[in-house]
Amino acid sequence: MENIRTKIEYTERIVNPLNHRNVLIDRTGVTGYTVNMKKLTFGIVVFLSFTGMIFGQSDTVQKSKKAEPKYICITFDDLPVVRVHDHFDRMVITDELLGALAEFNVKAGGFVIGNNIHDHFDLLEQWLKAGHTLGSHTYSHPDLNDIPVKLYIQDIEKGHEIIEPLLATYKQKNRYFRYPLLHQGDTFTKKDAVEKYLEGNKLINVPVSVDNDEYIYNLQFEKLFETVDSTKMAQLGYEYIEHMIAELEEAEGLAEKVLGRPINHVLLLHANQLNAFFLNDLLQAISDNGYDFISLDKALSDPIYTMEEAYVGHKGLSIIERLVKSDPDLMPAREGK
Ligand SMILES: [Zn+2]
């Protein structure tokens, strides 16, 4: 079977002789594709961002540069790579992700699924060597809604133990954890038990502030990838980035509404094929929207991440949504409940 590197190179050649990052330029109207106004405006901004040297910056870009800086941390779940198991293919995807992060000087956070490592610790080392922060994401990615809390905690423990030697070797200061599916407990007993376990073991929960449907775009992208249909892949990439910027704007608005101020955002992504192709474009679009990229530590220094929240339910929500949906009866003195 053709490996990913060959496919990427092949697709790059047929999409654009320069590189796959220019895919979006093709979708801004050069090809005559019919777009609505919002798409067109976004496309033009992306287009101008790539061609600023020639055309100068657009008003939109200049305006966003003058505004107060906004901050975001980029995080990836399901490391080393999700839904791809061949070591070589995983190496290629890791290279693409780390290359894009380096290009934009991003120090990201990554969350590892223990039983997804398959002895490919070298890939995790690449993240650490590049100065990114790693944390655990359980051993087998269980859903807290579905299993007893005791088994869930055992799974956290096992997942953490697998990566601990690596984190120690690379002298990583803190130990981070992210809940699979962002499910933090559909009953108070579960929620409370896991929170107490994390606290007792100095594992820092890393919520997200910008949830999104990136994983759905990845599933679609994987199918297109098999067909090597470059036009459809490019179109999907374009729609993916448009979706992510819309989600980011929505999270900005919600933070303003709930807290009355901007927050340090934490964006949820996955280490997947989709981002191996489009992370550069995504980071460029986020940057063009006035964002500076910050580390996990810095993002979590925003007080929103230590605020008491009491959402008990089956949904995987962002921290802002959790605050909105918190049960007033469980706040602030939850201990007595
Ligand atoms: Zn996950």
**How many angstroms does the Cα of residue 212 sit away from the middle of ligand 1?**
13
Strands 133-136 and 291-293: unpaired
Q: Are 278 and 240 in contact (CB under 8 A)?
A: yes
Ligand 1 center to 12 CA (angstroms) = 29
| Ligand 1 geometric centre to CA of 315 (Å) | 14
The DSSP call for residue 323 is H
d(CA 20, CA 129): 26
CA of 85 to the centre of ligand 1 (A): 16
Domain residue extents for the chain: 70-336
Distance, in Å, from the CA atom of 12 to the CA atom of 107, rounded to the nearest integer, reads: 27
Q: What integer pLDDT is reported at residue 327 of this predicted model?
A: 80
Cα(215) to centroid(ligand 1), Å: 10
CA–centroid distance, 118 to ligand 1, in Å, is: 16
Q: Of 129, 133, 132, 137, which is closest to residue 82 (Cα–Cα)?
A: 137
CA of 271 from ligand 1 middle (Å) equals: 10
Residue linked to tokens 């990229």: 293
How many angstroms is it from 142 CA to the middle of ligand 1?
9
77 Cα to the center of ligand 1, angstroms: 5
- Beta strand 265-270 with 291-293: parallel, antiparallel or unpaired? unpaired
Q: d(Cα 277, Cα 84) in Å, to the nearest integer?
A: 15
pTM greater than 0.85 (yes/no): no
Distance 62 CA to ligand 1 centre (A): 37
| Cα of 44 from ligand 1 centre, angstroms | 34
Ordered DSSP codes for 82-136 = SS---HHHHHHHHHHHHHHHHHTT---EEEE-GGG-TT-HHHHHHHHHTT-EEEE
Yes or no: say if 116 and 79 are a contact pair by the CB < 8 Å rule.
yes
Class of domain 70-336: alpha beta
Ligand 1: centre distance to CA 130 (Å): 22
CB–CB of 181/225 below 8 Å? no
Tokens encoding 265: 């955002």
Q: What is the pLDDT of residue 329?
A: 80
State residue 96's pLDDT score: 98
Q: What is the pLDDT along the chain (337 residues), one digit of tens a residue?
A: 355 655 555 455 444 433 444 344 333 332 322 223 233 333 333 333 333 332 333 444 444 456 788 999 999 999 999 999 999 999 999 999 999 999 999 999 999 999 999 999 999 999 999 999 999 999 999 999 999 999 999 999 999 999 999 999 999 999 999 999 999 999 999 999 999 999 999 999 999 999 999 999 999 999 998 898 899 999 999 999 999 999 999 999 999 999 999 999 999 999 999 999 999 999 999 999 999 999 999 999 999 999 989 999 999 999 999 999 988 787 765 444 4
Ligand 1 centroid – CA 320 distance (Å): 19
Tell me how far apart the alpha carbons of residues 144 and 153 are, in angstroms, rounded to a whole number.
9
Q: What is the pLDDT of residue 1?
A: 39
* E strands in the chain: 70-79, 109-112, 133-136, 175-177, 203-205, 265-270, 291-293
Handedness of CA 47, 101, 95, 316 (dihedral sign): negative
How far, in Å, from the CA of 308 to the mean position of ligand 1? 24
